[in-house]
Structure formats: C-alpha cells, structure tokens
C-alpha cells in the first residue's frame, strides 16, 4: 500500500517528545536566566547603561579578561595538542597517572587552585623566587592571571583532541612515510588537518571557561583596579553594593562579546570542514 513520505515511521521514534523535553530543559536552565539578565539590565536607560559598561575601569577589565583568556586558550592549543599526542601515541611508565592528572583542574575547587597557584608563583614561592631573579613577576600581575587560566583550560583542549587522535588511523602516517614524506610534513599534511576542527573546539571551550573564571584568578591577580582586575570580580563587587542593574549590564556585554566570538569560531570551524568535504 502506498504511503506518503510524511507518514513513514522513523527508525528511532519519539522525536517530538524528546525535542519537547530538550527545549523545555534548555529554556528552564539557559534561556530564562539569560533573558532575566537582559531584562534586569534594561532598568538602566541608555545613558546609564553606556556609562556603566563603558567606564575606564570596566573597559580595562574587559581588555584583561578577554585578552588573558584568548592568550591562555592559544597556549593551551599548542601544549594541549602535544599532551594529547603523547598520551595517545606513546606508552610509558606512569601514563595513566599523567592521563588522570589532566582532569585534575575539573575536580579541584577553583579557590583551592587559586590559592595553590598564588603560593607557588608569589615572589617567595617555589617558582616565583626563580622568576623574580630574571625580572619576571607572575603573581599579582596579568601573567599570573594567564597562568591560572591555562591551568583551568588545559583539560578542555586535551579531552577534545584525544578521541580524534585515537580514532585517527596510524596507517595513514605509515603510508605518508613510505611515500617519502618527512615527519614534519606528515604531521602538517596528514594529522593536523584531521585534528584541526577538534583543536578549534577545544580552544573555544578553554576561552569560554577563561572569560567567566573567577575562583582561580581572584587570588593570584591581586585585584588592582585598571591593572589586574578581571570583569567577573567587578560584577561581584557591584552585586555586593546592591547594584544589580549595573552588574547585569556588565554581564550582558560579556555575554554578547563571548557569543559573537564563539559564533565566529564555530563559523570558522564549519567553513574549514566544508572545504575539506
């Protein structure tokens, strides 16, 4: 008996019900809180909003938060790729321990991480005293903020790249080598193009985590206005002063900028995947 295509049964039924639950969950957890943020910031008129989000102190915090997050994400992109490569391609004593250590920033409370990093990189700390001798100040400086963001962002890059490397057939590298390709050319022409989308995803996740990070940064930054004060700290400060509208206004700007940057990264990733296809 003839049936119209719209009447055919799906291989996996329940699409309508599962989609409804998905939209309900996302609306309850994501859309409603974000909408409330925009509505609360709307209590300010345009001149007040512009004065709040565009003050020199807030602008300095934007530059520091986004700049340090981007720099830390790029550093993690390089060393996260190397870490994932070593864990996938080589067997060595203690490999499982190293693999477990990658997830430590996920499990460690961010405040504990911040205190530990401050202790290590302060001028009297294990690393800080050696860096001080060569004229490098880590703790209570933008460099310290970047170190903290590298610490919390590394697992995102490693865990995003690692499954792709595991699925990548090692025979492709052997074929390239048998055809006379150097090791560098094999990495750049065979391995890296396959890993690049996952690398971009990991960098984007590390960047997003860094922009909103507070606990691990607030101790090592020193919180000096116009110098080492991050935007999340400004938001907390305004909330403590009961300036909820001002805090949400700053949060809205961060949200919009982060969304645009992540959208551009996703478009770059999609465009790269389309060219390879």
For residue 1, pLDDT beyond 60:
no
- 82-96, 142-156, 165-179: least confidently modelled range: 165-179
Cβ neighbors of 205 (< 8 A, separation 6 or more) are 153, 156, 157, 160
Q: What integer pLDDT is reported at residue 277 of this predicted model?
A: 60
- What is the tally of structural domains in the chain? 1
pLDDT band with cut points at 50, 70 and 90 for residue 58 = very high
Tell me the angle at which helices 244-276 and 32-41 cross, rounded to the nearest 10 degrees.
130
Specify if 98 maps to a domain.
yes
Q: Work out the percent of the chain whose per-residue pLDDT is above 70.
A: 93
Q: What integer pLDDT is reported at residue 9 of this predicted model?
A: 56
Kindly state the average pLDDT of the residues 231-257: 90
Specify if 126 maps to a domain.
yes
In this structure, what CATH number is given to the domain that contains residue 161?
Answer: 1.10.3720.10
Specify if 265 maps to a domain.
no
pLDDT band with cut points at 50, 70 and 90 for residue 4 = very low
**Letter string b/e over residues 95-122, b meaning 16 or more CB atoms within 10 A of that residue's CB:** eeeebeebeebeebebeebbebbbbebb
Q: What integer pLDDT is reported at residue 8 of this predicted model?
A: 54
| Helical (H) or strand (E) element with 44 | none
Structural domain that includes position 100: 65-229
Tens of pLDDT along 28-52?
Answer: 888 888 888 888 888 888 998 999 9
Residue closest to 159 by CA, chosen among 97, 202, 206 = 202
Q: How far is CA 145 from the centre of its chain?
A: 14
The answer to whether 70 and 207 have CB atoms below 8 angstroms apart is yes
Tens of pLDDT along 105-157?
Answer: 888 888 898 899 999 998 888 888 898 888 888 888 999 999 999 999 999 99
Tell me the angle at which helices 231-240 and 56-89 cross, rounded to the nearest 10 degrees.
130
Specify if 12 maps to a domain.
no
Specify if 256 maps to a domain.
no
pLDDT band with cut points at 50, 70 and 90 for residue 84 = very high
| Token pair of 87 as six digits | 């864990």
Specify if 1 maps to a domain.
no
- 31-40, 175-184, 208-217, 219-228: least confidently modelled range: 175-184
| Helical (H) or strand (E) element with 260 | helix 244-276
Interatomic CA distance for residues 254 and 69, integer angstroms: 13
Kindly state the average pLDDT of the residues 263-274: 75
- The DSSP call for residue 13 is -
């Amino acid at each position: 008996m003839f049936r119209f295509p719209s009447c055919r049964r799906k291989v996996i039924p329940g699409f309508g019900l599962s989609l409804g639950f998905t939209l309900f969950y996302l609306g309850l957890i994501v859309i409603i809180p974000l909408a409330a943020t925009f509505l609360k910031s709307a209590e300010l008129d345009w001149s007040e909003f512009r004065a709040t989000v565009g003050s020199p102190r807030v602008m300095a915090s934007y530059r520091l938060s986004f700049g340090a997050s981007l720099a830390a994400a790029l550093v993690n992109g390089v060393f996260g790729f190397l870490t994932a490569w070593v864990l996938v391609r080589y067997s060595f004593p203690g490999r499982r321990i190293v693999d477990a250590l990658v997830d430590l920033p996920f499990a460690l409370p961010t405040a504990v991480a911040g205190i530990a990093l401050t202790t290590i990189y302060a001028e009297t700390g294990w690393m800080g005293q050696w860096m001080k001798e060569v004229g490098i100040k880590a703790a209570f400086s933008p460099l310290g903020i970047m170190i903290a963001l590298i610490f919390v962002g590394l697992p995102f890059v490693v865990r995003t790249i690692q499954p792709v490397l595991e699925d990548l057939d090692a025979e492709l590298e052997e074929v390239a080598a048998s055809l006379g390709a150097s090791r560098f050319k094999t990495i750049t022409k065979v391995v890296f193009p396959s890993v690049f989308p996952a690398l971009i995803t990991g960098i984007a996740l590390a960047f997003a985590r860094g922009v909103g990070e507070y606990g691990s940064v607030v101790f090592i930054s020193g919180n000096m206005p116009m110098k080492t004060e991050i935007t999340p700290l400004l938001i907390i400060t305004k909330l403590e002063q009961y300036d909820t509208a001002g805090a949400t206004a700053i949060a809205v700007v961060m949200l919009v900028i982060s969304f645009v940057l992540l959208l551009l990264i996703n478009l770059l990733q999609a465009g790269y995947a389309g060219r390879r296809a």
